[in-house]
Structures are given as C-alpha cells and as structure tokens.
C-alpha cells in the first residue's frame, strides 16, 4: 500500500483559508504533508481553521491580509520568503460576489469594481509576487479560483467577468511561465455548500437554492468544499506536472 503524502515537504499559501472552500483546501493540503500559510482578511475565521489544522497535527500558520491591498500582498510574500525560504504552491481562493442577482440595468460601478478587485486584482497581485519566488526556484504550482460562471451568467455580471478574467489571466501566465517549470491552472466549481451562503441567504432560501441546483446537476447534488479541495490538490501535486493553462469544472456535470 502506498501511504506517501502527496505534498510532503512543500510550502503552500492558501488564500481565503478562513472560508468554506479555502478552509477545506488548507485542511487537505496540511493532511498531505504541506506546510500551509493560511491567508484571509477575516482574522477570527482564519485562526479558527488554523487551530483545527494544528490541533490535528498539521503544520500551518496564518496571515491576516487584505489581498486587494498591493502593499499588504507584497509584505505577505516577503514574510513568507523570509520565514520559509521557498514557496512551492499558491492557491488563490479568496473572493466572492458583492453584486449578486442584479439586472444588467442595475450594474453598479462601485460594486462591480469591488468584485474585480476582490477576485481578479487580488489573484493577479498574489501571482505576481509568488512568481518572484518561484522563478528563481525553477518550480511552482499556481491554482486560481474561477467559477462555472466563467461561461456566462444571467445575473452575475461583474462576478462572471472577474472569474472569466481569472481564467484568461491563468492561461496567460501559464504560457509565460511554462519555461520556468511553473504551472498555472484554474478551478471552476458550480454551487458549493458553504456557510457563507447560509449566512447570506438564511437557511430557507439556501435550502431552496441548493435543492433546485442539485436537481439540475446530473450528479443530483451540489458540491462540498472537499470536492473542490481535491481538485486543488490534484493541480498542486506532481500528478499534474504536465498540465498547465487548464480550467477544471467541478460541477457534477452541470451545463454539459
Ligand atoms: N461557494 C460557491 O458556490 C462557489 C462557486 C464557485 C466559485 N466560488 C469561489 O470560491 C472562492 C471561495 O468561496 P467560498 O464559497 O469558500 O466563500 P467564503 O465566503 O466562505 O470564502 C471566501 C473567503 O475569502 C475571504 N476574502 C474575501 N475578500 C478578501 C480579501 N480582500 N482579502 C483576503 N481575504 C478575503 C473571505 O474573508 C472568506 O473567508 C471564492 O473566490 C468564490 O468566488 C465559490
């Protein structure tokens, strides 16, 4: 039996680690032997996840950072280089939608820009700083969080634009960085069961949304954060060493 851990000896940054998908990814990476730096703007939730990981024997630390701030992102990566001396894996998960369910006529420039900042700008800044460490190492794995709405959405305009942008950006850096043995891939989940939705919608509306979505998906359920964490692990591991510039739909077959 092969019991080897898939990320043994690797140093990984997981952003959005205080959230549902980021938390599950940080847990999974730590359980596969990585030293994980959990990054989030939400100190309480991030430290909660850190406590669980460390409590179950994982190697981890956390950094409270607003990833839309260039200064804070630069500081984060310089601290990681100083403390760990390397960075093997960057998983950009932080993000969200602050303009959901608006009609085209209701697009609000401020909220639209916030979506672009929170999703796309934060991802670009983190990739830029990570590459400064990964290039001299001659090795790196970048996994960016898109969404199934990269294909388009009837009511998430700035959000889908930001997630489509993340896919194009990921392909572009994959082309530019392949010669340095750095891969870059993107994740595109359909609806994932996270607490943030229950908090935002309330349990009843959430239940209706989850059930209606599950009914439409061929696998007849929505995703769990662990489904996405498994896909992130694949892209971050040696199993995906010849895969770059791709987007992986974690969708239970939605929109086939
Ligand atoms: N849940 C879904 O159905 C779904 C589907 C497709 C894609 N996604 C994407 O997955 C990612 C994670 O979402 P989730 O569902 O786990 O939601 P979540 O709200 O639980 O997690 C998002 C995390 O990002 C953090 N964050 C937001 N802005 C930040 C900033 N400026 N700096 C640092 N941290 C910041 C939040 O504090 C939060 O902990 C997001 O990018 C989201 O767009 C989610």
In the predicted model, what is the mean pLDDT of residues 4-30? 98
Which range has the worst mean pLDDT, 3-12, 46-55, 56-65, 205-214? 3-12
pLDDT in tens, 58-77: 999 999 999 999 999 999 99
Contacts of 224 (CB under 8 A, 6+ apart): 24, 192, 193
| Residue 214, domain member (yes or no) | no
| Residue 150, domain member (yes or no) | yes
Domain containing 235 equals: 11-193+225-249
For ligand 1, mutation pick of 19, 38, 71, 145 (most atoms within 8 Å of CB): 19
| Residue 82, domain member (yes or no) | yes
pLDDT at position 29 is 98
CA of 40 to the centre of ligand 1 (A): 9
| Residue 202, domain member (yes or no) | no
pLDDT in tens, 159-202: 999 999 999 999 999 999 999 999 999 999 999 999 999 999 99
pLDDT of 1 strictly over 80: no
Ordered alpha helix ranges (H), the chain: 20-31, 43-55, 70-84, 109-115, 122-137, 157-177, 195-201, 203-216, 225-236
| Residue 201, domain member (yes or no) | no
150 is catalytic: no
pLDDT in tens, 85-144: 999 999 999 999 999 889 999 999 999 999 999 999 999 999 999 999 999 999 999 999
Percent over 90 (pLDDT), the chain: 97
Mean pLDDT over each residue of the chain, to the nearest integer: 97
The tokens for 225 are 């954060």
Given the residues 159, 167, 197, 235, select the one marked as catalytic: 159
In the predicted model, what is the mean pLDDT of residues 7-23? 98
**Residue 193 Cβ contacting ligand 1 at under 6 Å:** no
Cα distance between residue 184 and residue 63, in whole Å: 23
pLDDT at position 2 is 61
Q: Ligand 1: which residue has its CA nearest to atom 21?
A: 19
We report the CATH number of the domain holding residue 243 as 3.40.50.720
| Residue 86, domain member (yes or no) | yes
| Residue 144, domain member (yes or no) | yes
Give the bridge partners for 37, in sequence order: 13, 61
For the chain, what is the domain count?
1
Based on the number of CB atoms within 10 Å of its own CB, is 68 exposed (0-12), middle (13-18) or buried (19 or more)?
A: middle
pLDDT at position 218 is 98
Give the bridge partners for 89, in sequence order: 12, 141
| Residue 211, domain member (yes or no) | no
Look up residue 223 and give its DSSP letter. B
**Residue 122 Cβ contacting ligand 1 at under 6 Å:** yes
pLDDT of 234 strictly over 80: yes
**Residue 94 Cβ contacting ligand 1 at under 6 Å:** yes
């Amino acid at each position: 039996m092969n019991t080897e851990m898939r990320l043994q000896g690797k140093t990984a940054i997981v952003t959005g680690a205080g959230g549902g998908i980021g938390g599950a990814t940080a847990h999974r990476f730590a359980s596969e032997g990585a030293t994980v730096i959990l990054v989030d703007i939400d100190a309480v939730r991030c430290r909660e996840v850190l406590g669980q990981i460390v409590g179950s024997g994982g190697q981890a630390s956390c950094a409270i950072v607003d990833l839309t701030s260039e200064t804070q992102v630069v500081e984060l990566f310089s601290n990681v280089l100083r403390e760990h001396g390397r960075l093997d894996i960057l998983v950009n998960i932080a993000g969200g939608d602050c303009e959901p369910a608006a009609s085209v006529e209701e697009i609000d420039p401020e909220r639209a820009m916030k979506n672009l900042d929170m999703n796309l700008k934060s991802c670009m800044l983190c990739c830029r700083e990570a590459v400064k460490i990964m290039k001299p190492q001659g090795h790196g794995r970048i996994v960016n969080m898109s969404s199934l709405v990269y294909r388009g959405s009837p009511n998430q305009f700035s959000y889908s634009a930001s997630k489509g942008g993340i896919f194009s950006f990921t392909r572009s850096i994959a082309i530019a960085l392949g010669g340095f043995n750095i891969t870059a891939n993107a994740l595109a989940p359909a609806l994932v069961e996270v607490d943030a939705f229950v908090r935002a919608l309330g349990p009843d509306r959430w239940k209706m949304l989850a059930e209606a979505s599950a009914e439409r998906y061929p696998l007849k359920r929505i995703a769990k954060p662990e489904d996405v964490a498994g896909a992130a692990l694949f892209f971050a591991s040696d199993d995906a060493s010849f895969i770059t510039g791709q987007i992986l739909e974690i969708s239970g077959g939605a929109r086939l």
